[in-house]
Chains A and B, each alone.
Chain A
């Protein structure tokens, strides 16, 4: 996968050449921290004071790394410094030890970053749980003697992902004929996943 960096992005990363390898390592750590827990402007201010550069420069440096890591994770780049990207990045970063250090950080945290990214994506309500109860209706105002078995179910769904997750539940009844119908239809759905057609598609889209 070819990772193309914009001119602006390259310029932001360029700042990393002007500081020690240890500082780049620290920037990388901060970038990962921000991806996982959100940004905190105070950190930029402290770092800018220590390095005696404008806050904006520090912010661009860290955000440049954050963007590099999230984009690489998104596309599952084996290492952002591999293949063609290597040249792109080597143009930006002179120090090989710095490149290696960033690469290591990325590889360690790639799957974590991907799972965080997937929380951002849109999601439909998802199945969470199903509770059930067997009821028999014995009488009603309009008919005094009945024996009408029904299955009362409570369907729990989750909406959204990550911190915005909400749960909802619906109470739904069904008669026993419908229950058997539902089971057979959904069993058909399950067996479809094991069909040759589905397996072939799943194997080939990788």
Chain B
């Protein structure tokens, strides 16, 4: 049995849409590269570019059919990126849907060009735990307070900028110099072992 990544599973409607894209009587020679380009761009613009399908280059294809092709193609692209599909997987899949080798090549070169960006996009989807984005600090000198005079101790106010489900939150705490040294020491340990792990 072939490993799952070598076989792209596509629904009937996606297969039908892709067949139309490969069909030279539906999408002519001049329109094909423009349409493929629009599909990639609409994925990367994350829906912000709603007018993409109204571009004059796509006039040749009838409206409803154009939408079907667009939906099928974007689904195919996302599925390919998700599975990290290689050239042979993509070619064999498109050959099955009667694409000409020229069209396969156009689509594949576009795929290669945008793959990294699309991967980043897909990696950002899903639950991400609260994460640190930056840090700010303040050095203060505790001189006195309501109950004790002449305290005279320096301390740091550390504010970790974090982001949780897209909303920012600052975690603020105090620490003495020794505590800050402890924290930095631990972070350095972590950085060192990360470096070691990356060399394996």
Contacts and interface: CB of A to CB of B under 8 A. Distances in A.
Interface in B143-200: 143, 145-152, 154, 156-158, 160, 162, 171-175, 177, 179-184, 186-191, 193-194, 197-198
Contacts of A171: 129-130
B174 A176 contact: no
Given A189-B180, A205-B152, A151 B122 contact: no
Contacts of B197: 134, 136, 149
B148 A143 contact: no
Contact of B130 (A114, A136, A170): A170
Contacts of B190: 132, 134, 151, 153, 179
B125 interface: yes
B177 A179 contact: no
A101 interface: no
A125 interface: yes
B54 interface: no
Interface in A126-176: 126-127, 130, 132, 134, 136, 140-146, 148-153, 155, 157, 170-176
Nearest to A150: B131
A127 B149 contact: no
Contacts of A170: 130, 171
B10 interface: no
B135 interface: yes
B145 A122 contact: yes
B146 to A, nearest CB: 6
Interface in A185-201: 185-187, 189-190, 192-193, 198, 201
B123 A179 contact: no
A193 B154 contact: yes
A153 B197 CA distance: 17
Given A130-B186, A172-B162, A202-B154, A155 B171 contact: yes
B180 A125 contact: no
Contacts of B189: 132
A143 B123 contact: yes
Please tell me the size bucket of the interface on A: 35 or more
A205 B151 CA distance: 10
B123 A74 contact: no
A141 B82 CA distance: 8
Contacts of B171: 155, 170, 172
Interface of A: 73-76, 114, 117-118, 120-127, 130, 132, 134, 136, 140-146, 148-153, 155, 157, 170-176, 178-183, 185-187, 189-190, 192-193, 198, 201-202, 205-206
The list of the 4 closest CB pairs from A to B, nearest first, reads A127-B175, A143-B122, A174-B132, A145-B84
30 contacts: A73-B148, A74-B147, A74-B148, A121-B146, A124-B174, A127-B173, A127-B182, A130-B183, A130-B187, A132-B190, A136-B197, A141-B125, A141-B126, A142-B82, A142-B122, A143-B119, A143-B123, A144-B82, A145-B5, A145-B83, A153-B190, A171-B129, A171-B130, A175-B131, A179-B190, A182-B187, A185-B137, A189-B139, A190-B177, A190-B180
